[in-house]
Structure 1
Amino acid sequence: MRLKFAAGDLTIHRIVEQETTFLPAHDMLPGLTPDVLAENRGWMQATGALDDSDTLILAFQSYVVKTPHHTILIDSCIGNDKPRPARPKWNMKTDDNYLRSLASAGFSVADIDYVMCTHLHVDHVGWNTRLENGRWVPTFPNARYVFDKAEFDYWTESNAKAEVPPFVDSVLPVVEAKRSEIVGHDFAIGDHARILPTPGHTPGHVAFAFGRGKDAAVFSGDLMHSPIQTHYPELSAKFDVDQTQAAKTRRGFLERYCDTDTLCCPAHFPSPSIGKIRRKGNGFVCETV
C-alpha cells in the first residue's frame, strides 16, 4: 500500500484509519443501473473498489501535506469513543489505527499546524477531538482548525433543529477551545493552500488546492466516493444533499484537472487512492501514480 507521494515542493502522506466494505453499489449510487455495473464490475473488482457481492470498498483516511512552511492535515476520519450506532464499524471505536498510522508517517498530534475540513460529515471530523477526562478536547493541540463558513452555518442551523452528534462532539468543542477559523472562499495559507468551492455533497463542501503558483495537488473530499464516478460524473451518491449540483460540480472539477499534472487526492478511493485525471470517452479516469 503506497502511503507517501511527492508533488512539487509538497510531500503528501495518506493516514488510513479503515479500508473496508461500505454499502452495496446500487444503494450508494442510486443512478447506477445493472447494465452499467455489469460493464464496469471487472475493473472495479480488479482495482479493489468492489467486492464479489457488489459492495463498494472505501478508504477512510486523512492526508497530511508537508509544505516548506507548514504541516497540514486534511479531514480527520472517524475517531475513537464516538457514539455512532448507525455504523457498527465506527461506533465507540477504541483501536489505535489512526494514531499509529500518523506516527508511522513521522508525525505526532503536536506537529500539525492546521486541520482543514472539506466538510463536516461524521467520517471527516472524528479525530478533530478526543476524549480526555470525560471531555472532548482538540486532538491536535497546536493546530488551527479551518471550517468553511457556509458549511459551518449549515450544520449550526441543522443542529439547532435536531442535535447532530458529530457536530456536537467533533466540531463545537474545537470552537469552544478557540482553535477554529471560520473562513470564506478567499482563505489561503501562504502561497501553498487555497479553497476551491465544490458544493453539492453538502452546501458548503470545499476542495483544497495545494502548490506554489499552480495546483500541484488537489484534495477533493466527498466530491466523489468511488472511481466509477469519474467514468460517470452524473452518478451522485445518496448522501449528496443536492445530487444535481453534486453531478455538475463533479464534472466541472474533472474537466478542470483533466490531462494536467495535478495529483487528485480523493477521500475514499481505495488504495493507492491518488491519481491524475485523464479523459475517457464522455467521462474520465483517475489514473493511479
Structure 2
Amino acid sequence: MERIVLGDAEIIRVVEWQGPFAPARAIVPEVAAATWRENEQWLAPDHWEASSDSYVAALQTWVVRHRGRTVVVDTGVGNGRRRPNAPHFDQRQGDFPERLAAAGIRPEEVDVVVNTHLHADHVGWNTVERDGAWVPAFPNAVYLMPAADYAALDPNSTHARTAPRSEAERGRREDDQLMFADSIAPVRRAGQVVLWEGGHRIDDGLTLEAAPGHTPGSSVLRLTSHGERAVFVGDLLHSPVQLLHPTCNSCFCEDPAQAAASRLRILEQAAQERELVIPAHFGGPGAVEVRRAGSGFAVARWAS
C-alpha cells in the first residue's frame, strides 16, 4: 500500500498481485527485444525480468479521496472467477479485501467506482459472491462504465461483439461472457451503473474523458487539485517501454491505430501540463511524470 498526496487529494494504491506475467514481446509486440535490453537499467526489476525476458505486471486499484468523496479506480481481477482463457485470472483466491481494509477503505464508504474500461482485470472486484450470487462489492457506490464497452459486451445489445476484433481476443469471447455475467450485469441489475460517453464530470476536480482504441470505450480519469494534476490512464500504457515508442500498442489493444492516437494525445498533454501519469499495471512506484524526448517520451520523475 502506497499513498501520494496531490493538492488536497490523497491517492492510495492497493496491489492485488504483482510479478512476471508473460514474455515481454508478447505483451508489446512491436518493441524490439534489443530495446528492453538496452534499457534494463531502469526497466528491471520493476517492469521487466531480464533473466526470463518477462513483462512484469501489477494488478492494482487506485483509490482517490477528494473533497469528501472516496473514488475507486478499476477493481482488478477478483476472486473465484472462471476465466478459462486467462490463467493468471482464473479462479484466483487473494486477500484484496483485507488489503483494502488495511488502507482504511470500507466498501460501504465508497461513493464512486470508475471502470476505465471493461476488461476482466479492471472489473473483478465490482462484485463479491454472497449466498451463491454475485452482488455489488460497494453497496452505496455509483459505478461509472463506458457506454461503448458495455454495448460491446451486453448480449442483449444490437452493438454486442459478434466476432473478435484483434488477435488478442481470439478464444476469449467465453471469458467476456463470463465477465459480463459475474462482474457487470449484477451491478446493472442493482441500479448502480451509470453509462457515459464522450465525457463525464464527477466534480470540479475529477472528470472522465474518452480515450478509445484499447477498447471502444477506453477512458482516462483526470484529477486536478490546487494546480496539481494527475491522469489515470488505465491500459493506455501497459509498460513504461511504451514511453520510448508511444505508437507501439499492447497486444490487447482492439483498434491499434486509435489506441496509438489516444496514447500520443494523452501523453502529450501530460508532458505539457506536468500531469502525474498513473497507469493500471506499472510496478515500482506505479506513477510517473513524463517529458518529451525526440519522437517519444522519457521519465521526468517517478512518484514518491
Whether the 8 Å contact between 1:154 and 1:204 is mirrored in structure 2 is no
**In structure 2, what is the equivalent of residue 129 of structure 1?**
127
Q: Which amino acid aligns with 1:35?
A: A
Identity across matched positions, percent = 35
Whether the 8 Å contact between 2:116 and 2:221 is mirrored in structure 1 is yes
Matched, 1:69 2:68: yes
1:252 to 265, 268, 280: 265
SS, match of residue 216 in structure 1: strand
Deviation at 1:283, TM superposition (A): 1.1
Deviation at 1:209, TM superposition (A): 0.4
**In structure 1, what is the equivalent of residue 170 of structure 2?**
none
**In structure 1, what is the equivalent of residue 192 of structure 2?**
179
Distance (whole Å) between structure 1 residues aligned to residue 258 and residue 235 of structure 2:
13
Deviations 1:3-38 (A, max 9, x none): 100111110000110111111111111112233233
Whether the 8 Å contact between 1:62 and 1:75 is mirrored in structure 2 is yes
Question: After TM superposition, where is structure 1 displaced by more than 4 Å over at least 4 residues in a row?
Answer: 159-163, 212-215
**In structure 2, what is the equivalent of residue 24 of structure 1?**
23
1:99 to 97, 101, 120: 97
Distance (whole Å) between structure 1 residues aligned to residue 280 and residue 88 of structure 2:
18
Q: CA RMSD in A?
A: 1.8
**In structure 1, what is the equivalent of residue 244 of structure 2?**
231
**In structure 2, what is the equivalent of residue 205 of structure 1?**
218
* 1:29-44 alignment runs, 5 A limit: 29-44=28-43
**In structure 2, what is the equivalent of residue 195 of structure 1?**
208
Q: Which amino acid aligns with 1:264?
A: V
Deviations 1:36-77 (A, max 9, x none): 23322332115x111121100011101100001210000000
**In structure 2, what is the equivalent of residue 55 of structure 1?**
54
Whether the 8 Å contact between 1:201 and 1:242 is mirrored in structure 2 is yes
2:143 to 135, 139, 145: 145
Q: Which amino acid aligns with 1:234?
A: T
Q: Which moved more, 1:258-267 or 1:220-229?
A: 258-267
SS, match of residue 151 in structure 2: helix
Normalising by structure 1, what TM-score?
A: 0.93
Distance (whole Å) between structure 1 residues aligned to residue 183 and residue 161 of structure 2:
13
Q: Which amino acid aligns with 1:55?
A: S
Residue ranges of structure 1 left out of the alignment (5+ in a row): none
Distance (whole Å) between structure 2 residues aligned to residue 23 and residue 91 of structure 1:
15
Distance (whole Å) between structure 2 residues aligned to residue 262 and residue 129 of structure 1:
31
Q: Which amino acid aligns with 2:277?
A: C
Normalising by structure 2, what TM-score?
A: 0.89
Deviations 1:134-158 (A, max 9, x none): 1000001111100111221122243
Distance (whole Å) between structure 2 residues aligned to residue 215 and residue 240 of structure 1:
30
Q: Which amino acid aligns with 1:177?
A: A
SS, match of residue 203 in structure 1: coil
Distance (whole Å) between structure 2 residues aligned to residue 226 and residue 265 of structure 1:
11
**In structure 2, what is the equivalent of residue 158 of structure 1?**
160
Distance (whole Å) between structure 2 residues aligned to residue 37 and residue 45 of structure 1:
9
Distance (whole Å) between structure 2 residues aligned to residue 186 and residue 270 of structure 1:
28
Q: Which moved more, 1:245-254 or 1:28-37?
A: 28-37
Distance (whole Å) between structure 2 residues aligned to residue 160 and residue 230 of structure 1:
33
Deviation at 1:79, TM superposition (A): 0.2
SS, match of residue 187 in structure 1: strand
Deviation at 1:215, TM superposition (A): 6.4
Distance (whole Å) between structure 2 residues aligned to residue 278 and residue 26 of structure 1:
25
Deviation at 1:219, TM superposition (A): 0.4
Deviations 1:223-251 (A, max 9, x none): 01000011110110111001121112111
Go from structure 1 to structure 2 and tell me whether the alpha carbon gap of 1:182 and 1:39 turns closer, same or farther (over 3 Å shift).
same
Deviation at 1:281, TM superposition (A): 2.8
SS, match of residue 257 in structure 1: helix
Deviations 1:105-158 (A, max 9, x none): 111111110001100000000000111101000001111100111221122243
- Count of residues paired in the alignment: 286
Q: Which moved more, 1:85-94 or 1:107-116?
A: 85-94
